[in-house]
Amino acid sequence: MSQSDRGVVDLPGAGVPADNGLSSLGLIMQLGGTLFTAAVGIYILSQVMITATLGRYAGGDGLVLWTLVGGAICVARSLLHRSAGNGLLYKQLTPSGDTASPLGPMKRYIAFGLVASALLAAILDWKFGMTHKAALAFGLGLAAWPAVLGGMLLSGRFRSYEVEIPLAEDKGFESAAVLMTLMGLCGVFATGAGLVLFMRMGGQALQGVNALIIITTIVLFVRSCLHAHAGISGLRETSIDRSVELANRYANFGVISSFCAGGAILMFFMTVAFSFFSVVPIAGLCWMLMAWPLIVRRFFADRQFVDLLGNGETVHRRAPDAGLTGLGWFLLAHSMYSAVNIIPTILGTEAAGRELGIVAMAFNPHSGAISIWWDVVVWVLQAWAGFELVRMSPLHRIIGTLYGVGAAAITVYTTWPELKAMNFDGAAGGKFVLYAFLAIGLLLPIATTLLVNRNLAPTARARYRSAATP
């Protein structure tokens, strides 16, 4: 069937792509589900191995079972999270062979996510000694993301996608480029800070097994540069051929670099103080490093296959949102995951988030040195900006700019006392690392400000050039 025979796709709204940005939401949910599955899986396996070896659990023998039960619930939720992302991107089949609804996996995730949040809150209250209020706050934080997705479904915004989600005008490439740019630049700053730290250490850093860690950091830095380059290319190229090529180059190098990094870290532990326990986190780290490159490679390969089926007739046009709905879903998802630490703050039980250690570190990107309520202000602005960008409302540019400028100012304000207290002296180079974290904290607000204020006219973009006829 030629492109002219397919009819006109009803757009969900002015400035909104045909798929309502669901391709970028699918990418985000795939990545989040994979990372959380790996992280929780590492924790569960570690606890099982410790228990089997020592015959006890550090927190008390009675907590072993409930730790495993809670972890199993988290893994199941994360797997459904990833499945929901797959459903938004790729066609799924029912056991009878029919095409399944692309929204079916998301509905299952929403239902299970809300139930799992309640169960985890009950376990923390009943077995781990957390206060009723703190457990409730933590449960509400976990329920925030599935609740938002459920609200979107109930609003009827995605009602027309029950049978099929149409491809965006640009096949979702520009939204994917926005995500790749943001995550790639975060990787550049993080690994770059590590390289600067090693340079500050001087020649002693190159001695012995430390060279393995340096090599790993260099490989990951190159990978992040390729990642950011591919994303930026997708934002600025008139023809998408080059951007697709760069995305595939990053994906291929990303898979190879994941194995290289895991092998180098394994050799480091084998040289220093190898333990069988160290195999589990290293394997999990490799899995997490490979997740995004594999997701990107499959995404672009699937879209290219659609072009091949079109016999060269497919014409790409810049999506009317210029990838901003992808940015909106990213902001909204990040703000809802941050609710794990923010909602306990609002309810006056901010200690609940800190009791969970790494959870608080992962979901609280700001310093909070002056007042943790500044985090709440940033959280509200981020969620608001994400919501407006997903809908591409008339206020999306104003609210996006408000979030970008406000969050950047608050981030500098809350970290300024720590910046002034540090100096450049000392081999540790702590100030460089702090600057790197500050840069990462400023990246999302600044990028949002720049992206929402771009003035780009929609342009037709041919995917393939046909060979000249003799």
* pLDDT number for residue 368: 45
In this prediction, residue 465 carries a pLDDT of 45
Kindly state whether residue 470 falls inside one of the protein's structural domains.
no
Q: Which residues of the chain have pLDDT under 70?
A: 1-14, 50-62, 202-209, 237-240, 272-277, 306-316, 348-371, 419-433, 456-470
> Token pair for residue 400?
């996006």
Within-domain flag for 344:
yes
Q: What angle do CA 91, 93, 94 make, to 5 degrees?
A: 145
As a whole number of angstroms, the distance between CA 63 and CA 69 comes to: 10
| Among candidate residues 327, 300, 326, the one with its CA nearest the CA of residue 23 | 326
Distance (Å, whole) CA 7 – CA 28:
30
Is 152 a member of any domain?
Answer: yes
Residue 5 lies in a domain: no
Predicted pLDDT at 271: 74
- Can you say whether residue 54 is alpha, beta or left, with left for phi > 0 and alpha for psi between -120 and 50 degrees? alpha
| Residue 7 forms part of a structural domain | no
CA distance linking residue 277 with residue 269, whole number of Å:
11
For the chain, what is the domain count? 1
Q: Write down the pTM of the prediction.
A: 0.86
Q: Per the domain annotation, does 8 fall within a domain?
A: no
Residue 252 lies in a domain: yes
Domain extent, residue 222, equals: 13-462
DSSP string, 231-268: HHHHHH-SSSHHHHHHHHHHHHHHHHHHHHHHHHHHHH
What is the distance between the alpha carbons of residues 174 and 180, in angstroms, rounded to a whole number? Answer: 10
Q: Is residue 308 part of a domain?
A: yes
Look at residue 314 in the predicted model and tell me its pLDDT: 53
Look up residue 311 and give its two tokens.
């016999």
CA-to-CA distance for 20 and 161, rounded, in angstroms? 10
8 Å CB contact between 174 and 318: yes
What are 32-83's pLDDT values in tens digits?
A: 999 999 988 888 877 777 666 655 544 445 677 788 888 899 999 999 999 9
